[in-house]
Copies of this chain bind each other. A is one copy, B any other.
Amino acid sequence: MYGPVTLYSFAGGTEGEWAIRSLEPVCGEPIACPARLAISVDTSDTPGDSQWCLRGVTSNLRYTERGEVHALGKRGNLTGRPEATRAALIPIRKSAQWWALAQDERRAVFEEVSRHTSLSLPYLPRIARRLHHGRDLGEPFDFLTWFEFAPEDEPAFDTLLASLRATREWDFVEREIDIRLALCG
Contacts and interface: CB of A to CB of B under 8 A. Distances in A.
Interface of A: 1-5, 7, 57, 59-66, 68-69, 96, 99-100, 102-105, 107, 133, 135-140
Chain multiplicity (copies): 2
A5 B66 contact: no
Nearest to A44: B138
A72 to B, nearest CB: 10
A139 B61 contact: no
A102 B64 CA distance: 6
Q: Which of A4, A7, A60 is the most central at the interface, judged by chain B CB atoms within 10 Å of its CB? A: A60
12 contacts: A2-B138, A3-B135, A3-B140, A4-B96, A4-B99, A5-B135, A5-B138, A60-B100, A62-B103, A69-B102, A133-B136, A137-B137
B138 A3 contact: yes
A136 B137 contact: yes
Contact of A105 (B66, B100, B104, B135): B66
Nearest to A133: B136
A36 to B, nearest CB: 27
B103 A61 contact: yes
Contacts of A96: 4
B102 A57 contact: no
Given A60-B99, A62-B62, A99-B60, A136 B5 contact: yes
Closest 5 CB pairs of A and B: A2-B138, A65-B104, A66-B102, A136-B136, A3-B138
A139 B68 contact: no
